[in-house]
Amino acid sequence: MLAFALAIFTSAFLLFQVQPLIAKFILPWFGGGPAVWSVSMLFFQASLVAGYAYAYLLVRFLAIRRQAVVHLLLLLAAITQIPVSPSLSFAPATGTDPTLEILWLLARTIGIPFFVLSATTPLIQVWVSRTTTVANPYRLFALSNVASMLALLSYPFVIEPLLTRQSQVMLWSIVFGIFLVICGYCAYFSGFRATATETAGEARAQVAAKPGIVVVILWLALSVAAVALLLGVTNQITRDLVSVPFLWVMPLCVYLLSFIISFDNERWYVRSLFLPAMALCVVAVLYLLIGDGLPVLWEVFVYTLSLFVLCMVCHGELNRLRPDPYYLTLFYLMIAIGGALGSALVAVVIPVVADSYIELQLGIGGVVLLACVSLALDVRVRFEPRVARPVQAGMLVGLGLTFALLAQSAQDSEPDIVYQARNFYGVLTVGRDNVDTEDESLWLRNGTSYHGAQMVSPRFRSIPAAYYSPHSGVAVVLRFPGTASGRRVGMVGLGVGTVAAYLNENDYLRIYEINPEVVRIAESQFTYIADTPAEVEVVIDDARLSLEREPSQSFDVFVLDAFSSDAIPVHLLTREAFETYLRHLAPDGVIAVLISSWHFDFEPLLRKMAAEFGMVAVLVGNSSGAMQAWGSRWVIMSKNDEFFQHGRLQMARRVQSQELPDVRLWTDDYSSPFQLLK
């Protein structure tokens, strides 16, 4: 029995340890946004379905001894993909929607090992139920979820800070080799015991109650709702903060914790406690979505607590509906299919059919509806006729009100929306202010973060606006005299193309933009690019990947403005990234980094980064003003001493604080945004 438990524990630990490991590995190749994790989750869920289907078919059609032989052969096949290290050659070549590329990359990198690990828990539980005297193999499912949660928690707090990515891959591969030995022993032991247990298994099949179609549909639906809710909460947190392993791991740990508690013993799920708690959590989330919101840490707490309570309802109801252990593999297969459908809904379907973020609302609505359905179908929950109708009416009114408020929260609150679209990289909205006045303007927003604005009137439209207004830090840089032959300007993040308003006829502007929809909007809704006399070239690709491939561009000015919905593009702010920028910078060139953020202060990190490369870093800020001049904070970095003699830069350098929090320099192997929280 110890070997079986150890195999399940190790497989679950490896299964959930490799998820953030591989996702972090490929994150910089696909723009660094939260959608990378959503698509990765789709792959993981689909692989889980494949593994559970394999276990189901193996148990359904083969005797235990043959099951053991087939599984031993599969264990040997898994060795062919060890070590599980993604090759840089798998990185995308263009900035198109990379969903299929991510799925194919993951399949080539960890497909077989992940498949083997996915099949282990249900298959070994069946072997345990048929070769031992264990009465409740479902407790081993709780054990696997404990291992999964330990794996997730250990990654951001132990593995990621202490080991490089290549070291993580090698350690994981070594432990996977140990797992293969343990699992191989379990397969051999179960096959050897097969003759003595076949008859007992057949007898159990005759007395086990086969689950009905309604119950099977509920298994599926509850799993879909729980995973959609998980990804909805994860997207809600990461798109406004940062897409890093810790914020992937935390919601997933909460999700798994609800599994552990629910399946350890059904007495832990008490409807009279969790259903009222669910109602309170729904109210709290609606307040965050519709109201003014709370400080960021409180918002994370509310979303996380709500995820736990609603997942407890889903998984508690699942545990109440679990079948006899003889149908255990069918039960797990339906849960896995539901998880894959939930992932596909969030990662693939919603970005195509919706022009805004609605997955959180759909997840909440699904859980609330299914909780009501489960209550209605439970024969143990019955009311007297005179009480039943008021209860049913109250339930319907509550459902209607909840769905109405969820629908309202999914609508954009801005009154004059010109255009809105969603793709892999986020939700882009073009809106209009001060309609039919001389001050009429257009603005572009990605999620909740504004990316630029322009006055509509021909009289004012050439004036740089928003974070690029004439009083901004980047204006100081771009007004610095250039050579007679013109300046070479590089930029990460197109926005609406405001930077082009500062350029002259002999200047050259090269913009790196990963989202093709941003390019289309900047060229169709705004005129900065069309109006500039400078030569403009737009590269549709991840900036860092393009810069790593290209020969030196000798930029005089390099502008970094790549925040989306206030989320940090971590891979663009590491030591390795700045090494690349400096390779493309002229000896006296200047780097300007926009660091306006609601939640984070990047000044300590960038000043330390500048010191690392022998540069001076000066913070230049400005307050909001008229003519769409938004408040902004820019860090200006250069080795050019003459440049910093400019009056405003000299003043900013003199008054800026010399005492800053000591932060750890970000690298591709380690980055901690929480040390930068305001």
Residue 161 and residue 220 share a domain: no
The answer to whether residue 291 sits within a structural domain is yes
Residue where a domain stops, chosen among 364, 385, 411: 411
pLDDT of residue 196: 45
Tokens of 618: 């000066």
| 402 contacts 365 by C-beta, under 8 angstroms | yes
The answer to whether residue 18 sits within a structural domain is yes
The answer to whether residue 645 sits within a structural domain is yes
SS3 of 561-618:
CCCECCEECHHHCCHHHHHHHHHCEEEEEEEEEECCCCCECCHHHHHHHHHHCCCEEE
In this predicted structure, the answer to whether residue 559 has a pLDDT above a threshold of 60 is yes
pLDDT of residue 526: 95
In this predicted structure, the answer to whether residue 203 has a pLDDT above a threshold of 50 is no
In the chain, the percentage of residues whose pLDDT exceeds 70 is 87
Residue 291 and residue 196 share a domain: no
pLDDT tens per residue across span 265-317 = 778 888 889 999 999 999 999 988 887 777 777 888 899 999 999 999 999 99
Return the closest-CA partner of residue 286 out of 185, 143, 402: 402
Residue 587 and residue 507 share a domain: yes
pLDDT of residue 578: 95
In this predicted structure, the answer to whether residue 204 has a pLDDT above a threshold of 60 is no
Q: 60-69, 208-217, 490-499 — which one is most confidently predicted on average?
A: 490-499
Question: Which range (77-91, 395-409, 461-475) has the least confidence?
Answer: 77-91
CA dihedral 245, 246, 251, 256 (to 10 degrees): 80
Can you tell me which residue has the tokens 């350890």?
A: 264
3-state secondary structure of 633: strand
In this predicted structure, the answer to whether residue 15 has a pLDDT above a threshold of 80 is yes
Question: Which range (219-228, 330-339, 482-491) has the least confidence?
Answer: 482-491
pLDDT of residue 484: 52
How far apart are alpha carbons 184 and 127 in whole angstroms? 13
Residue 458 and residue 386 share a domain: no
Residue 202 and residue 221 share a domain: no
The answer to whether residue 579 sits within a structural domain is yes
Polymer length of the chain: 678
- Environment class of 523 (CB within 10 Å of its CB; exposed 0-12, middle 13-18, buried 19+): middle
| Residue ranges of E strands in 359-506 | 417-423, 426-433, 441-446, 449-455, 488-492
What mean pLDDT do residues 311-332 have? 86
Contacts of 380 (CB under 8 A, 6+ apart): none
Peptide bond just before 673 cis, omega within 30 deg: no
Residue where a domain stops, chosen among 207, 238, 260: 207
Residue where a domain stops, chosen among 147, 176, 207: 207
In this predicted structure, the answer to whether residue 382 has a pLDDT above a threshold of 80 is no
Count of structural domains within the chain: 3
pLDDT of residue 132: 62
Query: 390 versus 583: which is more confidently predicted?
Result: 583
pLDDT of residue 567: 57
Q: 23-32, 286-295, 482-491, 569-578 — which one is most confidently predicted on average?
A: 569-578
Q: The domain spanning residue 654 has which CATH number?
A: 3.40.50.150
Query: 1 versus 508: which is more confidently predicted?
Result: 508
How far apart are alpha carbons 3 and 185 in whole angstroms? 8
Residue 267 and residue 189 share a domain: no
**Average pLDDT over all residues of the chain:** 83
What mean pLDDT do residues 208-236 have? 88
Q: The domain spanning residue 224 has which CATH number?
A: 1.20.1250
The answer to whether residue 504 sits within a structural domain is yes
pLDDT of residue 33: 63
The answer to whether residue 421 sits within a structural domain is no
**632-638 and 535-540 beta bridge pairing:** unpaired
In this predicted structure, the answer to whether residue 88 has a pLDDT above a threshold of 70 is no
Residue 181 and residue 274 share a domain: no
Question: Which range (16-30, 184-198, 210-224, 659-673) has the least confidence?
Answer: 184-198
**pLDDT class of 400 with cuts at 50, 70, 90:** confident
CA distance from start to end of the chain: 51
Residue 200 and residue 231 share a domain: no
Q: Residue 608: which region, alpha, beta or left (left: phi > 0; alpha: psi -120 to 50)?
A: alpha
pLDDT of residue 236: 83
What CA–CA distances, in Å, run from 655 to 476, 631, 633, 659, 661? 17, 19, 15, 12, 17
Residue 609 and residue 583 share a domain: yes
How far apart are alpha carbons 646 and 164 in whole angstroms? 42
Can you tell me which residue has the tokens 């001076």?
A: 616
The answer to whether residue 420 sits within a structural domain is no
Question: Which range (212-216, 331-335, 392-396) has the least confidence?
Answer: 392-396
pLDDT of residue 32: 64
In this predicted structure, the answer to whether residue 95 has a pLDDT above a threshold of 60 is no
In this predicted structure, the answer to whether residue 596 has a pLDDT above a threshold of 50 is yes
* Residues linked to residue 637 through DSSP beta bridges, in sequence order: 591, 617
In this predicted structure, the answer to whether residue 677 has a pLDDT above a threshold of 80 is no
- Environment class of 197 (CB within 10 Å of its CB; exposed 0-12, middle 13-18, buried 19+): middle
What mean pLDDT do residues 564-576 have? 74
pLDDT tens per residue across span 120-163 = 888 888 787 776 655 566 667 777 878 888 888 888 778 877 88
What mean pLDDT do residues 498-513 have? 93
**pTM for the whole structure:** 0.72
What mean pLDDT do residues 546-556 have? 92
| 631 contacts 596 by C-beta, under 8 angstroms | yes
Tokens of 182: 């343990």
In this predicted structure, the answer to whether residue 360 has a pLDDT above a threshold of 50 is yes
Query: 34 versus 37: which is more confidently predicted?
Result: 37
The answer to whether residue 539 sits within a structural domain is yes
How far apart are alpha carbons 500 and 220 in whole angstroms? 52
Residue 241 and residue 166 share a domain: no
Residue 189 and residue 201 share a domain: yes
- The range of the structural domain enclosing residue 117 comes to 1-207
Residue 371 and residue 494 share a domain: no
Q: How many CB atoms lie within 10 A of CB 167?
A: 12
In the chain, the percentage of residues whose pLDDT exceeds 90 is 26
